[in-house]
Structures are given as structure tokens and as C-alpha cells.
Structure 1
Amino acid sequence: MSNLLLVLLWLSPDKISREVKSKVASVGTAYTADAVNQVVKALYETYTHVDTVLVFGPDLNGAGELIVEALRGACNDALRVPCEYVKSLNAAVVDLRWRSEAELKAAVEALYKPREAPARPRREVPMAMPSRRLPHPAPHVIYDVDLEALRAKAVDYILTYGLETEDVLYNVLVLQRGPGGAYTAGPCDLAEGWPCGLDKADVLLATPAYVKKSDLEKISVNPSIFLRTAYDPHGNFVLADRLYHYDRRGVLLRALELTEANLRREAQKLLPDHAFYLGKEYAAKRLLKEKYVQDSWEGNT
């Protein structure tokens, strides 16, 4: 059995010569660093005789660096398997990122040494479900006419993108509950200080909005709030022979050429729910063509 495993970065196995593929136990493509967990799992559960992993291809997003590090025993952010599994992997890692296929062929020729004896004992590898934040420091706008729904959306955002101190999770948020121009600004404790002035203002610049870690168990986010339709004060769009933009009273404001570029241009100005809706309708119109009827196509496909 081959002692080699080939991990490709952003390359289809079809791009690799038959000569190379015939000498590896398995070949797969990785687009994200998370792929390292599947590699480790496969090495313990299926390819126990593999003692060398080759990582080849263009590392376009830095995932390859994390994969190589982890396979060499580093307990880094990409891992969802317990660190003990990479520390006792007993496999050499050959880093061929950004190298030529000729160099890959040469490495395979030099390292191909079929073996029957296992390089590691077979073990089932547990893998944790992902549950981490991506801290994002830039301001973010959240809109809802219902104060409790607005708070829940703010909490949900912080739980996903919040920055962290010893005591709190926080973000700078622009919280909007109406189309008017009455503004207020200041810190906002989403658990104990709500509505933080939004009972009298249309917009709160929360500098920051935060949740104390001690209050996290008191706050829950009901997913059903994201099924609500909050009217977008930016108006309505109708997809027909052109992209028609109306205000809330039905006054026609603009008639744009119906192109993907214009759809993207307009969607970037809208609330997220409205942008999602517009993209979904445009995709349906392109697929269904003359059968498309806006807001009515889903039950007729």
C-alpha cells in the first residue's frame, strides 16, 4: 500500500498526472484550513499505513499554511480534532506549496515506499462542532422597527462578530428602529440598559453596544425573529423588463437596466434581508425565464 497522501490546494485532481496519482493512497482538494481535520481523521481511521503527506498547490488564502502547521503537530486555530491526534500523527509533511508539478513528481518518486505496517494505530477521531466568533471591529448597521427584535439582532451580531474584553463582548453598532432623523449616541448595555434611548430616537450610535459575560445566560435569541419582514425604508424593487425602484407609496423613482452589476450595486445599499430577497428573485428570474413571477414562483416550480 502506498505510504503517500496528497493534499491539493485549489487544484482539481484532474490536473495531476496519472503517474503521480497512481503512487498515492488518496488525493483530495482543500479550499479551507478546516480540511486538515478530515485529513487527520482519514490518517487515523483509513490510511494508517501513510507516513508522508504532501501538500501541493497555490496557497491562495493561507489555508495551506495552517494545514502544514497542524500536520506538523501545531495546535492551531484550524483544528477541531483534539490536539493529541496531530502531536502523535507520526507522519512527515512535505510542503510543496507554490512548487511546480515537476517538483511534485520528483518528491513522489523519492518518497514512494509502499508499506504494510501501520504508521499509527487505528483510532476513531472525534471532531468538535464549530462554535467560534470572528471578531470584527468595524461598525455595523442593524434595522428593525420592533425594539425587542432589534435588541435580539444586536445580541446575535455580537455573539458572532463581537470583540472581547475580560468582562464583556462588544461592537460599535448603528441601531435603527425607524426612518426618521432623530439620533442619539452612547454606550448601550443590551441586557440591562435597553432600549438605550431608542424609545425616543430613531437611530442609536452605540459606542459600543455590549453584553456582559455574566449576562449571556439571561439573553436568548429566538431564530424566528429572522423570519419576520421588516420593511426596508429604501423602497421596493420590481424585476421585469427592467429593474424598477419605487418608494413606499408606489412612486416610481428609477428604471434601471436589469443586469447583475446593477443588482449588486443596488443590493449593497439595502438592508441585508432586502438584499437577500433581491438576489433570490434575480436568480429565480434567470433560471425560470418567462415562467418567473415575482413573489409567486416558489410554489410553481
Structure 2
Amino acid sequence: MRMLKRFFLIPIVVLVVSCGGPELPEEVALEYEALPKTLDFNQHVKPILSDKCYLCHGPDAGNIKGGLQLHSAEAAYSELSENPGNLAIVPGKLEKSEMFHRIITTDPNLIMPSPDSHLSLTNKEKAMLVKWIEDGAEYKDHWAFIKPEKHKVPKIKNEDLVANPIDNFVLAQLEPLDLKLSEKADKETLLRRASIDLTGLQPTLEQIEEFVNDESPNAFEKQVDRMLASEKYGEQRTLDWMDLARYADTHGYSVDRYRDTSPWRDWVIKSFNENMPYDQFIL
């Protein structure tokens, strides 16, 4: 209880308050300045919370420290059950967010993640969490369940480098950094890269010759369509999924007895080749 009381009585004097709010430690401030103008919860914030915070403050109701859970907005914004009146995150208000003070302090008895967890936040991760809270601490559903939105194609300087609107988005990120696109690959190299990525196989000599001699504007598109229609496409995508699932046709672990789980593997291949929607696939 003594530790919990200290958690919620962190002296604000450890931070120098400027007119714009609490001043960050120099190392964190430098990382803060280098952050993107807009952070995305799924891309920038959730990986930090998942890796460094969910062990003690995640969705596992049987392993919650301090009555704090950070896996959802409802839980993160609400009063802590063990300390009514105190809030870990107050969107847009750093000074009132205990989480902010806990990740910035250098006191080993107060800092989070706690030293005994053997986890720690980098200066960049601290900066991201600070900016996230400052910007409103927005939570988002898993990316696969968010309806895609059509974004406005950004304007760029080097319009002559654009082959399709995707290039605008790439160049919009490169130009502020004074970086340029690599030279376009020759047709043989381009087909080889696409083939290895989509099917896991080198293109045949016949396929290379066909593509090299095809002068039509949609020559590459035709090759991509051919590869996507191949059964090998589903096998290549399934390979990544099998690795993630730690799949084994028979003995997955030394304690397992023989089991033939290949029908599931074949079903995954079929699912990819038929472009099954993700919400159906995970069932």
C-alpha cells in the first residue's frame, strides 16, 4: 500500500513546468521533435504498450498491478479501482496523467516499467507515449477490423517520377528527408523480385522471355495477375502463417504424439488462394 500511495503522490516538482506544459528530459525532448506529426495507435503506440506494459497492465484480469489496465480506452481512462479519484491517462492533459509522470521519472521506486520487470522504455518510446497522451490518447480497434478509407493523394515536387498514385505517398515521405527513389529495375530483375515475393519461386526462362518481350503498358500487371492466380501464391502466403503459428505436420513439440494436422495447412492454402475475408479466416 505504501508503494501505491507513492505512485499517486509523485511530486510534480521533479519536472520543470514551462508555458507549454511539463518540460521533457533533454533526451526525450530530442526524440519528441523527430516524431511524425501524427501518430497512429496501431503502428506507433500499441506495440509499446503490448511489449512493455501489458505484462502487468494488460487484458489478463488475473495479473493486474495497481488496478490499472491499458489495453482499452474504457479501462485506461477510468478511475483506478484500488485508488479512486486517480487517473492513469487523462487525454490531452499530461500533468494530470499519472502514466506520464511514471514513465518520465528517474526514481527507481516510481518508474514504470518497474526495474524488477526487466523491461524499460527507450527515449523514443517515452516520447511517443507522451505525444500520444498529449494528442488525446486515442485508441483504435485492431487494424484488420478498421474500414479502409480513401486518402487524398499528396502533392509532391517530382511529378515526373510518378508511375501511379502510390508513388505520391512514397515520395511525400522521402522528399522532406532529401531522399530519392532508387533507379527502376530492369524487367528481368523486376519479375524475379515479384515472383520470389508472391510465389517463393524464381520465374522460369519462358516467363522471363514473355515479360521482357511484352511491350504493352500493362505487361507487369499481367504477370502479377498470373502469379496471384497460381496455387503457389497461397502456398507462399501460408508459409509465413505456418511459421507464425509454429506449425508442424506431426510432432510440434517433443511431448506430442503423432498427429496429422496437414488438413489445416491445406485449408489455409485454399483460404489464401480464394482470398477469404479475414473475419472469416480467423474463425
- TM-score, scaled relative to structure 1: 0.30
Task: Answer 1 or 2: which has greater strand percent.
Answer: 1
- TM-score, scaled relative to structure 2: 0.31
